[in-house]
Amino acid sequence: MNPDEEFPIRRVLDENGKLVGDRSQVSDDQLKHFFQWLVTLRTFDQRAWNLQRQGRIGTYPPFSGQEATQVGVVAALHPDDWICGSYRDWAALAYAGVPLYYPLLNSMGHPIAGRIPDNVNALPVQVVIAAQILHAVGLGWSAKLQGQNRVAVTFFGDGATSQGDFHESLNLASVMGAPVVFVCQNNQWAISVPVSKQMRSRTVVQRALAYDIEGIRLDGNDIIAVYQTLTEVVSKVRAGQGPVLIEAVTYRLGAHTTADDPTRYRTDEDNQRLSRGEPIARLKRYLLEAGIVTQEGVAAVEESAKQAVDDAVATAESYPKAAMEEIFDHVYGTLTQPLAQQREQFLARAGQGGARHG
C-alpha cells in the first residue's frame, strides 16, 4: 500500500497561498472571519509566551502553527457537539466560546480555568497524554445510546498515537459505531521525538484501516481544506456512518512548552522546510491577491487582535484570587465523601494557619 495514494493530502490553498482546489463552500466573509480569529489567536499565543518569560504566568504550551486546524474543525461543529482537547488546544476552546483569558488563568494555576463556561460543550483541557481521546468516545457513545444527534470531537498530537489509549479508543468507537471524530494534529514532534522515530507507519491516518473506519489526511495549515473537509465528515458521523480518523499535517512553530528548548533537537533547516506555508501567512497572501482584503484591512485586523489580547491579559491579571479550598470544587457535580472530608480537614488547618488565598 502506498499511503500517499491511499490517503492523499487534501488541500485547497497551497503553501504559497495559491488556490489549487474548490473553495465553493466558504464565502469571502467566512474567510475574513477566519483570518481575524487566526491573527488574534497567534497574537495571543506570542503574548502568552512573553508573559511567561516575564514571570507573569507559569508554564505555557504554545499552539502557533496549529490554529487553522483547531479553528477549522470547531467551525464545522454544532453548538451542542462535544469538544475534548489537550493542553495545547486552547485555540479550539477559544473559538468555541471559552474566554481568551482562561488559558492565562490556567497557566497561573487558577482553578476556575478548569470550569468550562456553561454555554460551551467542552471538557477541561487534558494534561495526561491521550486521555481525552477516551473521554470523547465515552461522550459519543453516550450520545448514541441516548438518541442524541451529537458528535464528539477530540484533538491530540502525533505523540498521543503512541499511547494505548489512542488504539483502545479507536477500537471501541469502531465496535460501537460511536459518533466520534478523531483529529490528530501531526505537528511532526512529540516534544523532542520526531514522527519518524515514533512509528514505522508512514502516516498516522493509515491506522484507520486496522479499525475499519474512514481515515482522511489533510493539510492542517489550510483552513479552507480543514473547514470544508470537517463539514463533510461531521455530517456523515452525525448521520450514523461511524467514527472517522483525521490526520491534519501541520507544524508546531515554537517549543513544546515554555520549559522546552527546540534548538536542541530541531535544525534551522527543519524549521525553514516545515514552517513554509504556515496558516496565517498562507491565508493572508491569498486574501490579498484575491482582493478580499486590503493591506489597510490587514492592519485593522492586527490592531483589533492586539486590543483583544490586551483585554484578556488585563482581565486575567485583575481576576480575583482563588480561595485555596477551591481546588476541591468543579471536580465532581457532587463532592464525594472522601473529598468532602479532605476539604473539611483542609479548612480546619487553614483556619489555624492563617492565609487561605493563592
Q: Can you give 185-237 as a three-state secondary structure string?
A: EECCEECCEEHHHCCCCCCCHHHHHHHCCEEEEEECCCHHHHHHHHHHHHHHH
pLDDT digits (tens, 9 = 90+) for 40-52: 999 999 999 999 9
Of 67, 16, 2, 11, nearest to 217 (Cα)?
11
Instruction: Tell me what pLDDT residue 118 has.
Output: 92
Distance CA 353, CA 120 (A): 38
Q: Which listed residue (10, 256, 282, 286) is catalytic?
A: 256
> What are the DSSP calls for 279-326, one per residue?
HHHHHHHHHHHTTSS-HHHHHHHHHHHHHHHHHHHHHHHTSPPPBGGG
Residue at grid coordinates 472530608: 341
Domain ranges of the chain: 3-320, 322-358
- Strand partners of residue 181: 153, 244
Q: Which listed residue (265, 266, 285, 319) is catalytic?
A: 265
**Contact yes or no for 92/85 (Cβ under 8 A):** yes
pLDDT digits (tens, 9 = 90+) for 144-181: 999 999 999 999 999 999 999 999 999 999 999 999 99
Distance CA 149, CA 318 (A): 40
Q: Is 256 a catalytic residue?
A: yes
Q: Is the pLDDT of residue 339 over 80?
A: yes
Instruction: Tell me what pLDDT residue 353 has.
Output: 55
Amino acid at 255: A
Distance CA 205, CA 219 (A): 13
pLDDT digits (tens, 9 = 90+) for 207-231: 999 999 999 999 999 999 999 999 9
Q: Which listed residue (207, 252, 282, 286) is catalytic?
A: 252
Cβ neighbours of residue 95 closer than 8 Å, sequence gap 6 or more: 37, 41, 70, 71, 74, 75
Average pLDDT over residues 234-247: 98
Instruction: Tell me what pLDDT residue 106 has.
Output: 96
Helix (H, G, I), strand (E, B) or coil at 253: coil
pLDDT band at 352 (very low <50, low <70, confident <90, very high): low
Q: Is 167 a catalytic residue?
A: no
As a dihedral over the C-alpha atoms of residue 351, residue 353, residue 356, residue 357, rounded to 10 degrees, the angle is 170
Of 68, 24, 76, 73, nearest to 222 (Cα)?
68
Grid cell digits, residue 260:
522546552
Q: Is 252 a catalytic residue?
A: yes
Cβ neighbours of residue 100 closer than 8 Å, sequence gap 6 or more: 40, 44, 94, 308, 309, 311, 312
Give Cα 355 to chain centroid, integer Å: 37
248 backbone dihedrals φ, ψ, rounded to 5°: -95, 110
Question: Average per-residue pLDDT in the chain?
Answer: 94
Of 113, 30, 20, nearest to 72 (Cα)?
30
Instruction: Tell me what pLDDT residue 329 has.
Output: 81
Instruction: Tell me what pLDDT residue 270 has.
Output: 84
Distance CA 41, CA 302 (A): 11
Of 283, 330, 353, nearest to 36 (Cα)?
283
Distance CA 324, CA 320 (A): 12
CATH class, domain 3-320, is: alpha beta
pLDDT digits (tens, 9 = 90+) for 63-99: 999 999 999 999 999 999 999 999 999 999 999 999 9
Angle at 36 between CA 75 and CA 24, to 5 degrees: 55
pLDDT band at 358 (very low <50, low <70, confident <90, very high): low
**Contact yes or no for 172/109 (Cβ under 8 A):** no
Of 252, 209, 285, nearest to 69 (Cα)?
252
Q: Is the pLDDT of residue 357 over 90?
A: no
